[in-house]
Amino acid sequence: MPIGSAPKLERKLMALKIYNSLTRQLEEFVPLHEGEVLMYSCGPTVYDYFHIGNARTFLISDIVRRYLEYKGYAVTLVQNLTDIDDKIINRANEQGIDTSRLAQKYVDAYFEDSSRLGIRAADVHPRATEHIAEIIALIQTLIDKQAAYEIDGDVYYRVNHFAEYGKLSHRKPEDLLAGARVEIDERKEDARDFDLWKKSKAEEPWWDSPWGKGRPGWHIECSAMAMKHLGETIDIHAGGHDLLFPHHENEIAQSEVATGKTFARYWLHVAFLQIDGRRMGKSESNFIFVHDAVEQYAPEAIRHFLISAQYRHPLDYNPTSLSESSSAVRRLSNCIDALGPYRDVEEDTSAELNDADAASLRDGLDTMRQNFESTMDDDFNTAGALGAIFKFVGEVNQFLAATGDQSSDVGRSVLSQAYNSLVEVCGVLGIYAEEEGASDEHAALTEALMTLILEVRQDARQRKDWATADKIRDQLDALNVELQDSRTGTTWRIIKGGR
């Protein structure tokens, strides 16, 4: 069979299996609507920068989405931003600023850092504070169905109302308490009951509601925003393993009681990143912020490290992890760059393979494609996919070293197929940056040109030529380049995505 790019329809016929936390089984993935995938992923609570442990979850959602697209599905991904929460309120109080200002600062930081990691923005990034009406309507539905009750301005979910509570976390009712870390609240009917709406304390941000001034609980926002942007039943719900209970258990309880329908059909949970056997986390103070990591390592190297284990397995970080991943992605990009000159050679997939070396390389390519797909189809086993890619990189390097420019026409055609295939599969994982050198050069040129422009503006200011100085600032502003003057000089930054 001729190789090269397998038609997308064929890819879709090969079964993708996903481990569903709900059933604790590998299940064949069949979306609700043929050819389409509705996916929701729990996003960050924006009170701080995010670390590479958090990044693992966001990156896996990104790769799941890219692989589903590779298989020919049209994917709609929604990832929320929790922009009102106790942590946000506390941090804003510490800094003496508004919660909305604090949240916006870390929303911007989230987009800046995630885009530097090559994580594509979701189709929708809904914010809790922009969905208060939907949240209130959902809480009202739950009250109407006797699944929630109000006490003195607080609204609680009545866990006892939902017989299936615990089905995701597979916990028995007596075990549910231990994990819920509930504050003792004598007013609640049952200690497991959780907040849907919180009455605001003095100095806290609030919104009007039928129950007085307050703010939404964390769990209800995800149910409301997922259903608003994706509908009552979604295909895949993803999140970090720490969210399985109680957050996701509560999302199910709220949504399924409100609609009477299945909320999410496949639940996907990403295991922790660990350091010395402990989870990387803010509470453990052992984390590495993404914005620090990207100063030291290429985004492709960080991605390579974060997907070097299948997502359901804990991944261990040690001081050499990122340097090892750096050498791996360098080896990969050297190989693909060496194939670059063959990229436009016409692919002749039907040619007689009278060149034994080329025939063997084509077999290697075929195997790489098959193994990439079979490992990714096996619950997104990125570790296996990397193995397939790097084995083939070794074979390409060997072929190039042995034949180099002396390749036959057939050999050149196989090299062209190898280039296109590697770029495509590495694009799914985001571990190869095309023309990396060129973008480095552009960055250096931008830096030099900005220094020159700022010097010209400084000269103009010194001779009190305000018209020229202002013109430079205004024109840069129009290009989304913001200048910041201080006593020590002028700095500049590019406003991501414009104003």
- What residues make contact with Zn ion under the rule CB under 5 A? 42, 222
- CB nearer to Zn ion: pick between 118 and 216: 216
Query: 246 preceded by cis ω (within 30°)?
Result: yes
State in angstroms the smallest separation of the CB of 222 from Zn ion.
Answer: 3
Burial class from Cβ neighbours inside 10 Å (0-12, 13-18, 19+) for residue 280 reads buried
Q: Which of 44, 265, 256 is nearest to 161 (CA)?
A: 256
In the numeric block, which tokens belong to residue 465? 């030529």
Q: Which is nearer to Zn ion, 42 or 309 (CB)?
A: 42
Cβ nearer to Zn ion, comparing 153 with 231: 231
Q: Give me the least distance between CB of 434 and Zn ion, in Å please.
A: 34
The secondary structure of 333-344 as a DSSP string is HHHHHHHGGGTT
Count H helices, E strands: the chain?
16, 15
| Among the listed residues 81, 57, 30, the one whose alpha carbon sits nearest the alpha carbon of residue 235 | 30
Residue nearer to Zn ion on the CB measure, 251 or 300: 251
What residue type is 15 in one-letter code? A
Terminal-residue alpha carbon distance, the chain: 52
For the bound state, the minimum distance from the C-beta of residue 40 to Zn ion, rounded and expressed in Å, comes to 8
Q: Which residue has the tokens 């990969």?
A: 332
Interacting residues of 304 by C-beta distance below 8 A, sequence separation 6+: 325, 328, 329, 386, 429, 431
CB of 400 vs Zn ion, minimal distance in Å:
48
Closest to Zn ion by CB, 239 or 411:
239
Among 46, 23, 59, which residue's Cα sits nearest to residue 304?
A: 59
CA nearest to 302, candidates 293, 289, 311: 293
Shortest distance, CB of residue 311 to Zn ion, whole angstroms?
A: 17
Name which of 220 and 335 has its Cβ closer to Zn ion. 220
Q: How far is the CB of 247 from Zn ion (least distance, A)?
A: 6
d(C-alpha 96, C-alpha 90), whole Å = 10
Cβ closest to Zn ion, residue 222 vs residue 275: 222
